[in-house]
Structure 1
């Protein structure tokens, strides 16, 4: 019998991302092994995986394969916000796990750590790796608090040296193990103390509401979820300003 560690090790050895080497396992085999032990496999975030013969696995795979390469990470994120159907952009409300989100974890060698993580960090990591930028290789947003170097730190005036496409890292003051991470897209021109963030596992307000989805939203920089820092690294600049 395969252990959870065996399944995850096999899954994480294979990747379609440009900077990671291919192993012998195919995507289909990775999924078969993961689904076989879904009861103890954290990549499904507590939800039930689709049956392995469900056509939506192939559909999700096609969206990943069509994501742009040779560009900047925030533009990869923008592809998921603009070109992927909404049904694949967010956590599914029924019992099944969105296969696209499952692949974000599998392809970045990350896995959730209980209730301390959602999928915002896996999404950022996938977009970074797709662009050839080394990610934090963690499903925890807190891992990005020390990733790269700070272009802006808490207490400074925004935006400081931060540029669109850098990584915005939030922490939850009531429980510092929790937080959020996404792509900083600029200071909100319509509201003081807020920035525009493009990322996964976010929610929108207003006429069109999405929750736990890939969105481009305005977020407060203070409060219980406060902006910790905005990070940059080689590969994010220059030209990450459009």
Structure 2
């Protein structure tokens, strides 16, 4: 549960416009997964709910309670604004590392939860036209990489810290990663730059600019390992994607990404890098 110290942060979490972080300020290494809330750790023995095989079960839909919803709201309110979208993404990455004012108690809010929904993840969907708590969806087990990118864009372009129709119109408004396939302009003839958006597509779903399954996140920098050359800061990332390993550890962190990775084991289907997108604001 939320401690008294954390509860006191609710009124002390006023966000200010941010100074853009330089690439040197971000250590380019894969981050550890944020932990589960202490009262949910026993759920690690339960069936998985995030899978590179695209399977989902209806977990993460029970109400987390007012204290946790309020704490998540305080975390969201403290996110930077009037900055680059990737700076907002870095804030949530730092949340998972315990490097915000919310400390260790904030870390579990940077990942999906079993049994009950993470109210922060659900809040990200306010930047889309999808309600993950609707009966046909799966709470915070609903894929949220595109919701995360859209939220970071809307928060970053805000001049007041508030998000309204003007700010939401800067993104795609969709929870589908495929909505970013023709977003902005394609990077051509050079390596991607920090803050540009990488788009991966699932085999068999590429149809020009149509929505479809894949992955989307912000490029953070290069990786010396040529099998995974791109560090991506995004949401709903997790697992050993080179081997197609299932994991419940889905969250916001830096992850080294390959050009293609196994997404469905039988029959084998891959997610492949389509492009990096620039000039999108």
State whether TM-score is above 0.5.
Answer: yes
* Paired position in structure 1 for 2:28: none
**Counterpart pick for 1:142 among 170, 178, 183:** 178
* Paired position in structure 1 for 2:224: 189
Residues 1:99 and 2:119 are matched in the alignment: yes
CA distance in 1 between counterparts of 2:260 and 2:127 reads 33
Determine if contact 2:127/2:154 at 8 Å carries over to the other structure.
no
CA distance in 2 between counterparts of 1:120 and 1:60 reads 18
CA distance in 1 between counterparts of 2:148 and 2:239 reads 17
CA distance in 1 between counterparts of 2:91 and 2:67 reads 22
Residues 1:226 and 2:264 are matched in the alignment: no
Q: Give ranges in structure 2 of 5+ residues lacking alignment.
A: 1-57, 97-105, 158-166, 207-211, 241-246, 262-269
* Paired position in structure 2 for 1:88: 109
CA distance in 2 between counterparts of 1:174 and 1:86 reads 36
Shift of 1:234: 4.5
Determine if contact 2:86/2:195 at 8 Å carries over to the other structure.
yes
CA distance in 1 between counterparts of 2:89 and 2:185 reads 21
Determine if contact 1:121/1:141 at 8 Å carries over to the other structure.
yes
Determine if contact 1:169/1:227 at 8 Å carries over to the other structure.
yes
**Counterpart pick for 2:89 among 67, 72, 77:** 77
* Paired position in structure 2 for 1:28: none
**Counterpart pick for 1:212 among 250, 253, 258:** 250
**Counterpart pick for 2:143 among 90, 100, 118:** 118
Q: Deviations over 1:33-81 (max 9, x none)?
A: xxxxxxxxxxxx7532425x52000000000000001110001000001
2:171 is paired with a residue whose SS is: coil
* Paired position in structure 1 for 2:68: 56
Q: TM-score, normalised by structure 1?
A: 0.66
CA distance in 2 between counterparts of 1:74 and 1:138 reads 18
Determine if contact 1:60/1:99 at 8 Å carries over to the other structure.
yes
Structure with the bigger RCO (C-alpha within 8 Å, sep 6+) is 2
RMSD between aligned alpha carbons? Answer: 2.7
1:139 is paired with a residue whose SS is: coil
